Structure 1
């Protein structure tokens, strides 16, 4: 709940910077007051909820005296680890929302380009929110329970290490293929998607190029989510602190690159800077995972290597849909658009069939891990 306050301050600053509106304006002041009220209510609700939990745990269960006598009110080892993750949260905020600070306070884009960027960013982030974020959160809990934090592979149970390695390999393959599919087909269908969503105003400007670059960024997001999921679930406090220094340097570099790339390539520079940021974080996590499993026989990073036949199908699909976009999209009428969509559907179907034939281990993982969960939710 506490990060809501910085978000509120940021939103106010961005609104003031974008629009020259008097504070007496009814709409603006009402919006600010509602945001402030929302933040205050959130903080007090979580505070009341925490006090209620403590009251139930200590007073109702009669554990307060034993806690005071044994002085175990705080687990200092976990408290220090929590503090390390707390510091990391601020650095992640800069890496996640850094381009918005640059955009707002340095005026590198005009209002029109900022609006198009926000639309594309919101559309593109839907995939990360609804597909990759639940996977990352669920399997972070899984890895944290299976593996003991801060211990080497040799000091852990072999069956737990084997399970974690198999799941990590399948997860990496799953998000990699999902990201590749979005990247390949997103390139050829970005203009059509924006034309359907917002008309020629979005599809005729920088919008399609932005969404194409964002399709590539989704691939980086997908892989980074799983690699960091495992890394943070197995790191000890000292390793988290060292990684915080890396993120501090990366945050400064990211802001500088965002500024210079935007001057060079407009709003596309922001997405390219985000790709650079994610690429460095992926490289760091891969280095950690490689060192973690180095003394074992397991190699979960092979999940980042799709089959050559599937890679070939991706390349052919990208070429076919790219030419289809040139000849049939998007100012040649609805019949041409339907042909373009049909070509994409045919290529997508071929890709999925090839995936079922070449990635049998992944298909088994999806059937055994994901489908039962969705069936339980449905019932």
Structure 2
């Protein structure tokens, strides 16, 4: 498969992932707006912060290192899939071990919520743990699907699982509100169960099919999906296993950085359960674009960079055509996320209060809710740049460099936890976002230095993607001033007509900014038109 073919598949995967994440965020957005009318903010805080943290920690520590290692270096063609499958099944006992340890901590070492306000906490902990372990049953199938670009499978499986979860939540909230945490625990078990079932049914149908035989799929029988070994063959691919261990040491630190504010809230009790609920709702709103645009791009193009570039080798010792394609793609991706991030930062400042008032009423728009969302709008810009730079760096690093980077992550993690604790006492929930911004800036600095060094001996300069055009900068500055004045004059306690005027002013400013993008960022426009949009349209038809 040529680098252009890999780019085409990665672009298709990114388009589908964006569509999938948009649907997820919209469903979650509507679900949260619905449940806010029926359950307390304390219950939302426990579910969305503490129990979700338990689940995400379990699955991340159990599978993230395996995913990165098995999808690196064209694992689907260079490695023995029988041994990779055996390695991937280790995620299940590892998940059971993490589940026991984490459930013990959540039940015995953390503060237990008031059972009158948040009932059935103990059973909910066990059910969220079981949901995490259940999801790991699909891990070998997920890696197979990703390595062979089965983009439709992921979209269908996760869509059905999310629809089942939302339907179950709504039904239980309406008809069994007294169940408390059981509502969300049962719904999450349904989600992971449907997810595993979809992957299992797909491969049970696909492996014996003529399509699999014609495409030379590496597995032929259902038995090949289970752990086993052939006579005289090693049980595991030890090269990939060692790389997995390197990523595993890094994944723990990355999880602390990703979910750092939840760890601080959970273990240090700096916010009440109710305040945690408000913070998490605002955090989810602020991260919508990051999750349904930036994260799918990062996941999809990590696979592209990992397949096109040879891990651990410098630019001169690789195919120059492949390196050139990778550099051009990296530059366009950096420019894409930079433009989107700047637009979010500019318009998020002037429209945060209005968005929260429409979404959750005075419960969210009063207090520090608007300030939280305004700060998060700026954080999204850093989040976007870091996602793209790190996806390239992790695909290009050698195993030794990955091990050294673990030390950097350790220092960043320690500073993040310290800053989160100190800034939260000083600025409340805003302190979490400020700490995230500082630490994200450190990670971006490290990645930028690595990319600059990587391409220093080549004619390509992909970091130019971080330099917006002067006209775009001017358009953003003018829009920031106009929308800030519009908010002061028309928003947000003056009736719906003036709110609509405020929205109209923002729409005109946005058109002005997009016009500047169309006029000045021609390379970016070509990339979006030729690599992202056509793949999505082709699959739709």
TM-score (norm 1): 0.90
The range that moved more, 112-121 or 238-247, is: 112-121
Residue equivalent to 1:41 = 134
1:201, distance to aligned residue in structure 2 (A)? 2.0
Verify the 8 A CA contact 1:108 1:262 in the aligned structure 2: yes
* Counterparts in 2 of 1:226 and 1:13: CA distance versus 1, 3 Å: farther
1:180, distance to aligned residue in structure 2 (A)? 0.5
Report the secondary structure of 1:330's partner residue.
coil
1:244 aligns with 2:406: yes
Deviation readout 1:326-377 (Å, 9 max, x if unpaired): 1111001111101100000000001101100000110000000100121123
* Counterparts in 2 of 1:350 and 1:241: CA distance versus 1, 3 Å: same
1:38, distance to aligned residue in structure 2 (A)? 2.0
Residue equivalent to 2:357 = 195
Aligned pairs for 1:145-224 within 5 A:
145-224=307-386
Matches of 2:123 and 2:519, distance apart in 1: 57
Ranges in structure 2 where 5+ consecutive residues have no aligned partner: 1-58, 64-94, 145-199, 205-218
Ranges in structure 1 where 5+ consecutive residues have no aligned partner: none
Of the three residues 347, 363, 367, the one matched with 2:529 is 367
1:48, distance to aligned residue in structure 2 (A)? 10
Report the secondary structure of 2:294's partner residue.
helix
* Counterparts in 2 of 1:291 and 1:112: CA distance versus 1, 3 Å: same
* Counterparts in 2 of 1:174 and 1:247: CA distance versus 1, 3 Å: same
Matches of 1:33 and 1:164, distance apart in 2: 45
Matches of 2:311 and 2:141, distance apart in 1: 31
Residue equivalent to 2:113 = 19
RMSD: 2.9
* Counterparts in 2 of 1:15 and 1:312: CA distance versus 1, 3 Å: farther
* Counterparts in 2 of 1:170 and 1:198: CA distance versus 1, 3 Å: same
Matches of 1:108 and 1:321, distance apart in 2: 34
The range that moved more, 337-346 or 75-84, is: 75-84
* Counterparts in 2 of 1:16 and 1:236: CA distance versus 1, 3 Å: closer
Structure 1 segments, 4+ long, off by >6 Å, are 47-55, 57-60
Verify the 8 A CA contact 2:107 2:122 in the aligned structure 1: no
What is the total number of aligned residue pairs between the two structures?
Answer: 372
Of the three residues 436, 450, 453, the one matched with 1:274 is 436
Aligned pairs for 1:278-293 within 5 A:
278-293=440-455
Verify the 8 A CA contact 2:382 2:441 in the aligned structure 1: yes
Verify the 8 A CA contact 1:57 1:63 in the aligned structure 2: no
Deviation readout 1:300-337 (Å, 9 max, x if unpaired): 00000000110010000001001101111100111110
1:64 aligns with 2:157: no
* Counterparts in 2 of 1:101 and 1:135: CA distance versus 1, 3 Å: same
Report the secondary structure of 1:331's partner residue.
coil
Residue equivalent to 2:103 = 9
Matches of 1:178 and 1:272, distance apart in 2: 20
Matches of 2:448 and 2:442, distance apart in 1: 10
Aligned pairs for 1:99-118 within 5 A:
99-118=261-280
Deviation readout 1:16-73 (Å, 9 max, x if unpaired): 6362228xx963344334324323433456589999979757699x9823xx1xx554
Deviation readout 1:131-167 (Å, 9 max, x if unpaired): 1111001111111111111111110111111111111
Report the secondary structure of 2:457's partner residue.
coil
Matches of 1:13 and 1:312, distance apart in 2: 54
Residue equivalent to 2:207 = none
Of the three residues 486, 511, 514, the one matched with 1:349 is 511
Matches of 1:278 and 1:14, distance apart in 2: 33
